[in-house]
């Protein structure tokens, strides 16, 4: 682009202003080739060899993500889990890593089973408490600190800058799962993180029609080169069509995230005063434990995710929560988050044994519908659940 935009909204809306020099198309084609021609003298001057390692279909989406996260390089993956696990698989057996007790459950599960079996020393801690991080890091031995903020499903907030200082002083990298915050609200690399991870399945794509993951690094270092190899060799590589859809989804990222944040704030405030609700967990509520840190590292909103703990009904809190979810009409009873449509789920049922989600908790992903419709639907569901 000749004109360098000052605002990230412009970067995403125009996908960095890409134009196809040959056809003058303003959206890229979908490259589907699995292999690339070798030069007659046996070289690969194009830099492309085989699509498990690399694919021109990724270039534009990776460049947009890099610009939004202010990073050096980005990599797309076949899922958020493929991206996250690549960060750990680029370490060596015996390395010590710290991860939060409250985090995306499937990654926690992988860390405590597969990764531990493979030789990583995984320690789960109260990551939102800098004193706990300080006490747990082992200088020279801890190679990675993984945080998620706000973190599923309690929306626990972790101070990125404070955790980065502790990790770096111990010689460890800091990686942030920023799926819920998105680059619209938080830029972890600018706060000192080394890596940002996104389940691009969620807000980055935003339409619940693909599964994808992404990593962005602050620097092209040895660990990043190993991450790149993990993708190329293990093959957690995104498909061409999904990469193209993701780029299209990211064009409206700012509009969608801002709309979801505004509605989530209103829903959180509304239901925190509701007679059938015991507690609303949302970083945008002034009484929420992580609100102060969230204010300092989230700009323009506190995210589209919140959880509602319902009051106990005649059959207990869990039954009341499940009954409320049973009676919604507009909200969709489904897992996942970050789409245009609002979702509701009884989180303990999804996570199973060992979940930090109390049995009375409903996790809400707020979409971009009219907020009054969302509030009215929840109101009638609660009325019917407690009738
Ligand atoms: C915060 C967070 N991180 C990572 C993931 C994993 O992403 P994916 O489902 O694309 O593998 C999810 C999925 O729900 C998530 O919510």
Q: Which helix (H) or strand (E) holds 265?
A: helix 253-271
pLDDT (average), residues 307-329: 96
Tokens of 290: 């992580």
Mention every residue, 6+ apart, whose C-beta is less than 8 A from residue 245.
205, 207, 209, 210
Angle at 286 between CA 127 and CA 297, to 5 degrees: 50
Out of 104, 159, 187, 218, pick the active-site residue. Answer: 104
What is the dihedral sign for C-alpha 269, 271, 273, 279?
negative
Regarding the beta carbon of 242 and ligand 1, being less than 6 Å apart is answered no
Determine whether the shortest distance from the Cβ of 201 to ligand 1 is under 6 A: yes
Name the residue at shortest CA distance from atom 12 of ligand 1.
199
**Cα 82 to ligand 1 centroid, rounded to whole Å:** 10
pLDDT score of 291 more than 80: yes
**Any alpha helices (H) in 71-153, and if so which ranges?**
80-89, 105-110, 116-118, 130-136
Q: Is 147 a pocket residue for ligand 1 (Cβ < 6 Å)? A: no
1, pLDDT greater than 90: no
Cis peptide preceding 94, ω within 30 of 0: no
pLDDT (tens digit per residue) in 239-273: 999 999 999 999 999 999 999 999 999 999 999 99
Whether 360 is a known active-site residue: answer no
Q: With a cut of 60, say whether residue 25 has pLDDT above it.
A: yes
- The pLDDT value recorded for residue 4 is 80
Looking at residue 6, its pLDDT comes to: 86
Tens-place pLDDT, residues 50-70: 999 989 999 999 999 999 999
* Residue 2 pLDDT grade (very low, low, confident, very high; cuts 50, 70, 90): low
Is residue 339 lining ligand 1, measured as CB closer than 6 Å? no
Q: Residue 192: what pLDDT?
A: 98
The question of whether 24 is a catalytic residue gets the answer: no
Among 177, 194, 360, 377, the one annotated catalytic: 177
Distance 347 CA to ligand 1 centre (A): 14
Instruction: Find the 46 Cα to ligand 1 centroid distance in Å.
Output: 33
* Average pLDDT value for the chain: 97
234 CA to centre of ligand 1 in angstroms:
19
Give the pLDDT of residue 384: 97
Percent pLDDT > 70 in the chain is: 99
pLDDT at 382 over 60: yes
Examine the pLDDT at 199 and tell me if it is beyond 90.
yes
Ligand 1: does its nearest atom lie under 6 Å from the Cβ of 199? yes
């Amino acid at each position: 682009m000749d004109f360098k935009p000052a605002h990230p909204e412009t970067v995403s809306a125009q996908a960095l202003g890409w134009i196809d020099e040959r056809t003058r198309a303003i959206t890229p084609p979908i490259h589907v080739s699995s292999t690339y021609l070798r030069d007659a003298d046996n070289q690969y001057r194009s830099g492309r060899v085989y699509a498990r390692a690399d694919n021109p279909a990724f270039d534009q989406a990776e460049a947009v993500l890099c610009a939004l996260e202010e990073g050096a390089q980005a990599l797309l993956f076949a899922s958020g889990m493929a991206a996250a696990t690549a960060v750990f698989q680029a370490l060596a057996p015996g390395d010590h890593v710290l991860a939060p007790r409250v985090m995306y459950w499937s990654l926690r599960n992988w860390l405590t089973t597969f990764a531990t079996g493979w030789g990583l020393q995984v320690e789960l801690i109260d990551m939102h408490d800098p004193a706990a991080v300080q006490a747990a890091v082992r200088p020279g031995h801890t190679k990675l600190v993984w945080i998620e903020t706000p973190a599923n499903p309690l929306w626990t907030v972790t101070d990125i800058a404070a955790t980065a200082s502790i990790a770096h002083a111990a010689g460890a990298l800091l990686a942030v799962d920023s799926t819920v915050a998105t680059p619209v609200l938080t830029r972890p690399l600018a706060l000192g993180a080394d890596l940002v991870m996104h389940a691009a399945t969620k807000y980055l794509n935003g339409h619940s029609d693909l599964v994808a993951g992404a990593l962005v690094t602050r620097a092209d270092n040895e660990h990043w080169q190993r991450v790149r190899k993990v993708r190329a060799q293990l093959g957690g590589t995104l498909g061409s069509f999904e990469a193209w859809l993701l780029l299209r989804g990211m064009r409206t990222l700012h509009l969608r995230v801002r709309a979801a944040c505004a509605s989530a704030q209103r829903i959180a405030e509304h239901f925190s005063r509701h007679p059938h609700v015991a507690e609303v967990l949302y970083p945008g509520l002034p009484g929420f434990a992580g609100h102060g840190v969230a204010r300092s590292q989230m700009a323009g909103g506190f995210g589209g995710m919140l959880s509602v703990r319902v009051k106990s009904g005649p059959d207990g809190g869990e039954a009341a929560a499940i009954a409320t979810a049973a009676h919604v009409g507009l909200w969709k009873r489904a897992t996942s988050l970050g789409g245009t449509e609002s979702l509701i789920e009884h989180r303990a049922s999804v996570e199973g044994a060992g979940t930090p989600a109390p049995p009375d908790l409903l996790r809400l992903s707020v979409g971009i519908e009219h907020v009054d419709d969302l509030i009215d639907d929840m109101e009638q569901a609660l009325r019917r659940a407690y009738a």
